[in-house]
Amino acid sequence: MSERSLLIVVLAAGKGTRMRSTRPKVLHRIANLSMLGHVLSRCQEIGAARVAVVVGPDMADVEAEAVARFPGAAIFVQPDQLGTADAVKAAGPLIAGHDGDVLVLYADTPLLRTETLARLRTRLAGDSDIVVLGFEAADPGGYGRLLCGPDGRLTAIREDKEASDAERAVRLCNSGVMGFRGRHLAGLLARIGNANAKGEYYLTDAVGIANGDGLTASVITCGEDEVLGVNDRTQLATAEAIFQSRARRAAMLAGVTMWAPETVYLSFDTQLGRDVEIEPNVVFGPGVTVEDGAVIRANCHFEKARIGPGAIVGPFSRLRPGADIGPDAHIGNFVEVKNATVESGAKANHLSYIGDGRVGSRANIGAGTIFCNYDGFAKHRTDIGAGAFVGSNSSLVAPVKIGDGAYIGSGSVITKEVAAGDLAISRSPQVAHTKWAERFRLRMLRHRDKKG
């Protein structure tokens, strides 16, 4: 199989009007990746040499996503929506010169497994010139039916509107995903007509033409959820739920503990190490890596962040892009970290904002500490040395540096560098006014009585 070149044609020209959105359907996201991105990821995993993405007119955003997710993807425009065969014909310049395998995939069918595509290729390497991916539908209404002869060979694909009553009783349905030996595809496409109820050019008609030429067509099957097509927001939510269930299961089988898996949201690229423990209600946005033995307490939200081995994060922590939490560090409740490194063994356990800076190893950040990183025009960095102690309710006005082992007195506003080992205190002196509170209360009570 590896000796045969693979071309994949991804059909992405649908307008998706049922999504009720200004965004093209295939750019709607599952696990923080567009549906088109999911399909193109499978193209990479299966080892496609070339990918053709067929789009509709004025779909520059879809073109950009295609090239971003599969660099080198060739973009072809289908001017009119005249059916699946018409869409595949748009990629004709690549198909004509290709003698290996060709797979036709759909950008709104994002849950296909790489293993299934590999089985398609294996069948093409054997005795089949065309392979169709089918599934047993719980409710086959509306799907094209796969009609097979006594020997199991695929004889025809009948669209639901064209099917007889007997054919509609067949539960083996067409997913739309097809594989071809490339040397046959261009000739088959050229002979597909549109004499049907919708006046469209159906790629499925290639099966009947191929049988007439003495070629062999066959079927492989997969689960219905794998070929779920997404046409509206409810189906998008269903696809999301399927992805999340798969991803959680894979994580747990790989050594992750989840207290309540159904409450944990994973992104398409979430990386979780062995013996990671995740409490309920945790959201992993894109670009998050959690290394071995880390503990994630409940109700956290992470995005584009790294959590080192043995670190403890949460509950109610937020890690924003650029957060890098070192080994055995602690990030506690209502602590937000953005574009900052918290080094090995450092702690910020309560109610703090750490933005644009570094917290050195074994340093302690007291409750209510704020890195004042923004002056209204630019961001500035705060650097806290190893073993430093920052007292509660301190404001560190960047750019500023706190040396190794330094102490910051609680309630301080620090605007200048603090040398290693020094104590810095910046607060107004405490003043006591004898009996002021008692006199104030009496005055206010008399005022209230006069008004009443």
Residue 430 has a pLDDT of 86
Residue 450 has a pLDDT of 84
Residue 297 has a pLDDT of 98
Residue 188 has a pLDDT of 95
Non-local (6+) Cβ contacts of 92 within 8 A are 186, 189
pLDDT < 70 regions, the chain:
1-2, 452
Per-residue pLDDT of 240-285, as tens digits, reads 999 999 999 999 999 999 999 999 999 999 999 999 999 999 999 9
Catalytic positions, please?
Answer: 350
- pTM across the whole model: 0.92
Residue 7 has a pLDDT of 97
Residue 448 has a pLDDT of 86
Residue 153 has a pLDDT of 92
Non-local (6+) Cβ contacts of 382 within 8 A are 356, 357, 358, 371, 373, 396, 398, 399, 400, 401, 402
Non-local (6+) Cβ contacts of 232 within 8 A are 18, 19, 20
Q: Which position has the token pair 């009496």?
A: 442
Hey, is 172 helix, strand or coil? strand
